[in-house]
Structure 1
C-alpha cells in the first residue's frame, strides 16, 4: 500500500492517498457514533429518573459524559494513528505525524460528541440514528471528496455548507498537512503543492485555521449536548 505514497509522480497517487484517509475517517467516525448512542440512551433514562428525584443536575452530568470520552478517544486515535500511519507509508517526521494524530483525534471526538448530541435532542435511539445517518450522508456528499473538486462542482446555493461541513475540514487538514508542502514534480510538470492549491484549494499555510476549526467542532457538539440534556426531558411517567 505504501507504494503510491513513496512515488508521488502522478496526481492519481494523491487521489489514492486522499481516498484512503477519507474512507478511514468516515468509517471510524460513524462507528464511534453508532457505538455511543445506545450507551447514552440507557444512561439518559437513568439520569432523567434521578433528576426527577433531585439527585443529579444536567450540567455536571453532561460534563461527566463528555470528559469520560476524551481519554478513550485519545487511546483509540493513538493506536489507529501509529498503525495506519506506518502502513500507508506517510513521511516520518515529527510535525507530520503530530498533525495526523491531532486531526484524527479531534475528528473522532466530534463524531462521538455529535452522536451524543443527536441522542440528547431526540426522544429515543431509533430517531437519533435516523437523524445522525441523514447528516452523515450530507457530510459525505458535500465534504469535497465525492466530486473531487468541491468549490467548482457544488452548487452555489450549497457551497456555504462545504465550509460548514466538519468532514470537509478534516479532509483539508489531513491532505494539506501531509502533502501541502511537497515540491515533488507531477507528470504534468506541476509540483504537489501547486496541484493541491489549484485543484482543491488546499493550502499548507492555512493549517492553523483548519486546526482551530477542527478543535471547535467537538466543543460545539459537546456544548449543544449539555444544553439539550438540560432543556429536553423525553421521559414518560
Structure 2
C-alpha cells in the first residue's frame, strides 16, 4: 500500500514493488546469510522486516537447542551454534527484534498516511 501511495500509477508501483520484494528476499538472511552479505549491503539486511522475522523464528525454535549435535560442513556442532555461526541469528536480539517488528507496521502506516495526504498525482 505504501508503494502505491508513493507512485503516480499502478504500473510504476508494480515495478518498484517487484524490485523491493526481490531485494528484501535476497538480503533477508536466508538466501544469503548475514555473515556472507557484503559490508556495503548490510544496511539492507538490518532494514528488512523479513530478516528480523527470520531471526525471531529461527532463534525461538532452534536457538536453545544445545544438546542436539549436527554435522555440518565437516564439523560437529550444536544446532544453536550453527544458527548463530552460519546465519548470524542471535537469541540475545529477541527483545530488540520484537520492538523493531512492532515499529515496522507503525512506520509504514505513518508513511502511507503522509503520502496520501501530501502527494497529489492528479493532472488537470
Mapped partners of 1:228, 1:133: distance in 2: 20
Mapped partners of 1:174, 1:227: distance in 2: 32
1:175-202 alpha-carbon deviations (Å, 9 max, x no partner): 1111111223223342222221222222
Say what the alpha-carbon RMSD is for the aligned residues.
Answer: 1.5
SS at 1:135 equivalent: helix
1:137-156 alpha-carbon deviations (Å, 9 max, x no partner): 11111111112x322x2111
**Alignment match of 2:58 (pick from 156, 169, 175):** 175
Q: Which residue of 2 aligns with 1:126?
A: 11
Mapped partners of 1:122, 1:230: distance in 2: 13
Matched, 1:196 2:80: no
* Segments of 4+ moved more than 3 angstroms: none
TM-score (norm 2): 0.87
Mapped partners of 1:118, 1:137: distance in 2: 14
Q: Which has the larger radius of gyration?
A: 1
What is the aligned residue count?
120
1:122-174 alpha-carbon deviations (Å, 9 max, x no partner): 11111111111111011111111112x322x2111111221112211111111
Which structure carries more strand by proportion?
2
Q: Which residue of 2 aligns with 1:99?
A: none
Matched, 1:165 2:48: yes
Q: Which residue of 1 aligns with 2:34?
A: 150
Q: Given that residues 70 and 79 in structure 2 are in contact (C-alpha distance below 8 angstroms), is that contact kept between their aligned partners in structure 1?
A: no
Q: Where does the alignment leave 5 or more consecutive residues of structure 1 unmatched?
A: 1-115
SS at 1:183 equivalent: coil
SS at 2:45 equivalent: helix
Mapped partners of 1:155, 1:187: distance in 2: 28
**Alignment match of 1:138 (pick from 23, 31, 40):** 23
Mapped partners of 1:159, 1:234: distance in 2: 34
